[in-house]
Structure 1
Amino acid sequence: MALSLSARLPSCSSSVFEKAHKLTTQPPILPFPSNLAACGCTLLPASMGVARRRRQVVGAVEEQHNQTSVLAPKQSPSYSSSKLVLVIGASGGVGQLVVASLLSRNIKTRLLLRDPSKAISLFGLQDENTLEVREGDTRNQNDLDPTIFDGVTHIICCTGTTAFPSKRWDGDNTPERVDWEGIRNLVLALPPTLERLVLVSSIGVTKYNVLPWSIMNLFGVLKFKKMGEDFVRSSVVPFTIIRAGRLTDGPYTSYDLNTLLKATAGKRRAVILSQGDKLVGEVSRLVVAEACIQALDLECTKRKIYEINSVEI
């Protein structure tokens, strides 16, 4: 089953990502086309006040106010790609949307899952020429067999756990093991032919010892994410890091691809980008997933870090 994502990229030369390298003020983020109103999303500069943001958005979305889903089950354009994208953390909320978006673009996808049986319940039966599934855990370096990366051109890593102790920590699934050791193990295993690693991180990682971030970091989640980021940055890997605000919307647990078709960004359709870890706020999972997909092909996002939020209309 195909998905349709209204938000698509223009060329890098006209993208807002590129503008981020030329501006000292906080820039807007996703280089969506001018017809973005079709899916209800609007690009806004981070420096713009809330009242002005709302005025900017109203006109763009007024005609589309009845549309609630960015991942609407419409007929998808035909896309073809020579990519093979490895998605790590595909069973999470962002990861599920990343996989759905890749499939909608007819991009061959490989999943690295601790429990491969989840793939069918999450994404349904797929042609193995389109969707491959491998068993592995980035926390265990021995799991990262070189064959996992055979033919892989791009990787999107959206692994993570909770900031505070919870049931998700069972089985040594702590921030130290996932966000630090897991990322370190992954980078050490990457082939030299990799074209891009897109890593989902968090806003506030550079301020983990400063209030209010120090509260979120009581059990080290921001510190370990920063250590993972630093290891990526110190490597020769061509990376893009997306630091997300607090995640909202989208699936927490999906049951099949049809569920993902109903994913919505809700009212958070105004998308904001910054650099320098200055943003505070929340972001739709759908927006983060789309940012990851878009960053794969943009040369101007290579070895760059972006913070991303989305605000209500």
Structure 2
Amino acid sequence: MAMALSSSPIVDNLSLKGFRAPLLIDRSLLSFSNARICPIAGVSSVGRIAVMPRAVTGEQTPSLTKDDEVALDDSISPSQAVKDVLVVGASGGVGQIVVASLLDRNIKLRLLVRDPEKASTLFGKQDESKVKILKGDTRNPLDMDPAMFMGITHVICCTGTTAFPSKRWGGDNSPEKVDWEGVRNLVLALPQDLKRFVLVSSIGVTKPSSLPWSIMNLFGVLKYKKMGEDFLCSSGLPFTIIRPCRLTDGPYTSYDLNTLLKATAGERRAVTIGQGDKLMGEVSRLVVAEACIQALDIDFTQNQIYEINSVEGEGPGSDPEKWKQLFKFPK
């Protein structure tokens, strides 16, 4: 499908802070004694965390409704005004582009990374009212403190590791730890009123025993990605899962966000979106990042799973209407 490329819109800067009552997390519910059987693929999961209001002394500050927040400035669309997006794996190949693109849109961000110094070097000095860098390792459940994620409205998770043993597996960075346990730990810590969780997974996760996927799955990467998918699907959180084909272009290691945004995908900008784990081929990291961002605001992508690749030709760029058409009519 040939589509004209358009530039990302820039919106006026606005910092909106809703006032929320303090919350107390009943951490006893994190116990695995509450485990139940996930209805999808028999994956074992844990009950959602209960979030209960804490008693406060004196007069309680009233909460602003979404309509109140939007009313503060009519020039800001509702979706922009209420967003507080958590990007997990922000310093990775897709994550870097997601962060740069969201900053270009003036979206408030929290970045969950293992190495804050690396993230600060990569993304430069940013206004802390717009970007907060959180230190945390999804592989460690003790790092996933629900208090860190209070107020988060949307999540884009771009974590991942290599399919075959490599230096990146050092420090227990295997697919089991990253794609399964990491996703599970993150899901359990997120607020129940989350508007959308977008997870980057992989094509072939439903065909781990069939060629060529059986080769890719020799060390379990597809199995563990599917387990992460299934846990998210059964969590009760609104989700969209993006399964990219083989990633191309990057990963980038730019120290300049403007350079990241100017990164080129060559001629591979035309996008194909499918369902049913049928697509093959390659996809630009730039295209995957944009698909994740667009899915946040398209209502009918909720609780859906899509595959994505890109081929030669002009693509949808950052045009929301063109992305809606792509998601609406998957191949």
Q: Same fold (TM over 0.5)?
A: yes
2:4 is aligned to 37
User: Which residue type is aligned with residue 154 of structure 1?
Assistant: H
Take 1:252 and 1:38, find their aligned partners in 2: how far apart are those partners? 21
1:139 is aligned to 139
Q: Give 1:178 deviation, angstroms.
A: 0.1
- Of structures 1 and 2, the larger Rg is shown by 2
Q: Give 1:252 deviation, angstroms.
A: 3.2
Higher mean C-alpha displacement, 114-123 vs 126-135: 114-123
**Would you say how many aligned residue pairs link Structure 1 and Structure 2?**
247
- For the residue of structure 2 that corresponds to 1:209, the secondary structure is coil
Q: Give 1:189 deviation, angstroms.
A: 1.2
1:295 is aligned to 295
1:207 aligns to 2:207 (yes or no): yes
CA RMSD of aligned residues (A): 1.7
2:184 is aligned to 184
Q: Give 1:76 deviation, angstroms.
A: 3.7
Deviations 1:47-72 (A, max 9, x none): xxxxxxxxxxxxxxxxxxxxxxx78x
User: Which residue type is aligned with residue 136 of structure 1?
Assistant: G
1:21 is aligned to none
Percent identity reads: 72
1:99 aligns to 2:99 (yes or no): yes
- For the residue of structure 2 that corresponds to 1:117, the secondary structure is helix
Deviations 1:241-277 (A, max 9, x none): 0000000014432223133132112111110000000
Take 1:260 and 1:224, find their aligned partners in 2: how far apart are those partners? 30
Take 1:125 and 1:228, find their aligned partners in 2: how far apart are those partners? 33
**Are the structure 2 counterparts of residues 88 and 143 from structure 1 closer, same or farther at C-alpha, using a change threshold of 3 Å?**
same
Take 1:167 and 1:192, find their aligned partners in 2: how far apart are those partners? 36
User: Which residue type is aligned with residue 4 of structure 2?
Assistant: A
Q: Give 1:77 deviation, angstroms.
A: 4.9
Structure 2 unaligned runs (5+)?
14-75, 314-331
Q: Map 1:238-253 to 2 at 5 A.
A: 238-253=238-253
- For the residue of structure 1 that corresponds to 2:237, the secondary structure is coil
1:158 is aligned to 158
Higher relative contact order (CA 8 A, sep 6+): 1
Deviation beyond 6 Å, 4+ runs, structure 1: none
Deviations 1:136-189 (A, max 9, x none): 010000001112211100000010000011111110000000000001111111
TM normalised by structure 1 equals 0.76
Q: Map 1:1-313 to 2 at 5 A.
A: 36-39=3-6, 76-78=10-12, 80=76, 81=80, 82-313=82-313
User: Which residue type is aligned with residue 261 of structure 1?
Assistant: L
CA contact (8 A) 1:155 1:198 kept: yes
2:62 is aligned to none
Structure 1 unaligned runs (5+)?
1-27, 29-33, 40-69
CA contact (8 A) 1:273 1:307 kept: yes
CA contact (8 A) 1:287 1:310 kept: yes
CA contact (8 A) 1:199 1:239 kept: yes
Deviations 1:21-62 (A, max 9, x none): xxxxxxx7xxxxx9x5245xxxxxxxxxxxxxxxxxxxxxxx
User: Which residue type is aligned with residue 254 of structure 1?
Assistant: S
